[in-house]
Each structure stands twice: as structure tokens, then as C-alpha cells.
Structure 1
Amino acid sequence: MADENDVLTNLDSNQPGTGPASGNGADNQPVAGIVSQYVKDLSVENPRAPESFQWRDQPELDVQFNIGAREINNELAEVELKVTATSKTAQGTAYIVDLSYCGLVTMRNMPDEQIHAFTYAEAPRILFPFARRVISDAVRDAGFAPMMLDPIDFNGLYIQQLQAKRAQEQSGGDMTPSGGNTPSGSDS
């Protein structure tokens, strides 16, 4: 059975890794998480209704996404997942859904590389299923069969974009942000 005095002595000891600055209430551990999530903007267009409900051609679907972020303060950022889904046939556009789905993300005691990776890879991965549900419901509410977007490998896209940026920098070119299917969009 341990002596209680040993426990108290160990809390106050000056041994490496056991002093007051290495725990014991100090807020020095990395923390990241979603504080809140919300629809910031949602637009649903059904420009050819009611004629579009009678079209029998297989629609051509185009889905574009972009990720943006802005710092709120030194521990809080807004991560924005923008998704545009368009359905077209030979007769015209059946519907267009534009969604801006956001999450407030807290990050503390993390190196810059981890903050960037969490902002542009992990946070969008967490937000995506909720954005996918909003789009599915919006398409259904517009009078069409719900559209379930395929899962997206945000981490793979993030790594791919970092590699492309490094290759561009090594070749001496200027990497300008591109729109559409980029994990960091114009805000990275």
C-alpha cells in the first residue's frame, strides 16, 4: 500500500516531467474540435418546374466543392464547406443547389502544420456528412429523388494539394489557388 505522503510529494517534485508546468492543471495539451456547425447559406433553384418533373432523360450531375476558412480569434476559426450540385439534361437545368455549410472550430496548443491540416482536412471530413444531408433534403424538397453525395477523402485531397504546391514551388512557379474541387480553395 502506497504511503499518501509519497503521492503529495510526487505532485510537488521538481523531477523532469512532474513539475507544475507539465500538467497538474496547466493547459498545455493540444486541443481541436468542432464547437458548432450551421448552414450559412442555402440556395435551391428549380428553374424549369413543373416541366422538369416530366423529363425522362438521365440527368448529368455536376458537383463542385471548395473549402475556406477564416480566423475568428487565436483559438477559433470558421471552416466553410461550399458545395454546388447541378442536375442537367438535354432539355435544360433541372435543379441547382448551392450550400455553404460551416463549423466553428477550436484549436489550441497545436503547431501551425497541425492547425492547417485540421482546418483543411479533418474539419471538412467531420462537417461533410451533415452538409450531404442538407443537400439531399434540399433536392428532395425541390421535388426530385434525394441525392446522396459519395464520401470524399479530404485527407487524401489535402495531401495531394500539398504535394502539388511543393512541386510548383520547386519548379519556381507561383501557385495560385484554383476554384472548384480544391480542399483549400482561395483561403489557404
Structure 2
Amino acid sequence: FLSAPKIDSIQSNILVYALDGKIHFALPGENILAKEGQSFIVYGLWPNKEEIINIKGYVGLNVRKNEGQDVDENVYLTKGAFIPRYLEENRDGWKFQIVRENKTQNSVEWTVKVEKRKLKEVFLLNTDNNTIYKLDKKIPSGKYILKTNPEKDVILILDKYPLPYYSGDVLPLDAGKHHLCFRDNYTFQIVREEDIYVSP
């Protein structure tokens, strides 16, 4: 006969967290995948919420209250929210640790891997003749629809004007050289820069 499963230490140390408001669960030792700029909230452990969960290196809004308890903190995943020595960086992003701190039990850890947002592709669609233009060649002046992949992760700042353009917006391009600066839509960090030349 099969007996009912027992709630062991692994099953009872499930981390409950949210990314951009969506609830997730992580087993002890599991890697949590996220992107820069996302909202990250740790709600505690299942089923015992009354545990101290420390997001290593995180600097909260109340810096004087340093009790190591980061449950229910709304953490925006930018490197500026952390003490640098607690972060491990690589070409694609960075990561940090979450630790269940309990003096009477073994510590439990999770690793959060934060991926940098990347601009995989960008092109301009001419509104007059539907011709697609890459950015590496001179293009005729006119109005163009900006297309980026992914669509929601980046914004374009054209020349020095503080006006953001999003994928699907229309760009009016006059003759001359224009500077395109693509920035992360969540952290405002520069993702890509280049100049484009427009003929009369």
C-alpha cells in the first residue's frame, strides 16, 4: 500500500516570491531567473512565513533598519540597489544570493540570476513604400516606423532630444547625421548607440 507523502525539509523550505507581480516558487538551491529592472518580492517560505530571509547585499530604503529581514521588500533589480561586493557579474548579467537565516537549522540558499536586457534586432520601415532599412546604410529622408526585437525592453532617444520612441512609433528623419541611443526601458542604462546617415 502507498502511504501519504511526508512533508520533509525540502518541501517545507519552498521560497515564495514574485516577479513583476506574478507569484513563483523555488526549491532550496534552485536558480531564479530574472531580468534587470523587474520588481522582485520575497514573501517568505512555505509553509512557515515567520523566517528571516536575507537578500544578500540588498540596501533597502530604510538603511538604519538592518535586521537582515527582507521579506515583503519590493526590490527593483538594478545593481545600484546592492552593495557591489555581494554581486557576481559576467558578460550577460549578474547574480546574488538569498539565504534563510536560522540559527537552529541548516541555512538554505537560492541564487537569483539577473539577465541584462539586450537589443537583438532593430530596423526602420518606410511608411511610403514599406521598404525595410537596416541601420548600417544611408537611407533617404522621410518618415519611418521603428521596429525593435524585443519590443518592450528598450526605448530610443533620437539625437539630444529627451523624447522616448518605442517600437511601432514613427520617426521623422531629415537629411543629415542622426545619433540613435537605445536605452533599457527599466533601468535607463545604454544598451546600444550608433549613428545613421540620411540623404536628402
Q: Is the structural similarity TM-score above 0.5?
A: no
Q: Which structure's residues are more often strand, by fraction?
A: 2
Q: Which has the higher contact order (CA 8 A, sep 6+)?
A: 1
- Relative to its length, the structure with more helix (as a share) is 1
What TM-score, normalized by structure 1, do the two folds share? 0.28
- Give the structure-2-normalised TM-score: 0.27
